[in-house]
Structure 1
Amino acid sequence: MDTATHDLNTLFDQLGLASSDHDIKEFIHQHGGTLPDSMQLHQAPFWNGAQATFLAEAIREDAEWAETVDTLSALLRH
């Protein structure tokens, strides 16, 4: 059983990004509103290949990260 925390901070850690609350807010401020509704999160141009693959697999496999990835997607679209 996976008991790891799957919140935005740990997702950013997984993606190799700065993960403090302030860093996450800055990332969302910088990239928020740049994704058209027709674009899936992993297709955004600001991800590197490994990040995009991780995000796509999290959703495709309905992995433990899927809910947090969906949250990030929603935050970046508003």
Structure 2
Amino acid sequence: MNTSQPSMTNLFEQLGLASDEASIQEFIKAHQLEACVYICDAPFWSVGQRALLAEKTITDDDWTIVVDQLNEALHEDAV
């Protein structure tokens, strides 16, 4: 069981991605999604990353909020 506090940094760590602020911002900038693409369906996730995001989305706790924040950030440029 993972007991880390829900945060964008901890989410990126769990996804196996660089988790410093600059890396998070660069990832978001480089991976903008179209409006019709749900975060869990983004083509750049591995199977494990996709499963982690899906799990955190349905838990309906503080992790859901963090995943939603990432989802919003990945759709900033969406039309």
Query: Structure 1 length as normaliser, TM-score?
Result: 0.85
Counterparts of residues 1-78 of structure 1 (less than 5 Å): 4-32=4-32, 35-78=33-76
In 1, Cα distance between the equivalents of 2:56 and 2:27? 20
Residue-by-residue CA offset, 1:27-68 (whole Å, 9 max, x unaligned): 011112xx2222210100010000001111111232441110
Contact 2:7–2:66 under 8 Å retained in 1: yes
Task: Tell me the secondary structure at the aligned position of residue 40 of structure 2.
Answer: helix
Q: CA RMSD in A?
A: 1.7
Identity over aligned pairs, percent: 39
Deviating 4+ runs (over 4 angstroms): none
Contact 2:40–2:50 under 8 Å retained in 1: yes
Question: Aligned letter for 1:56?
Answer: A
Structure 1: gaps spanning 5 or more residues:
none
Contact 2:4–2:10 under 8 Å retained in 1: no
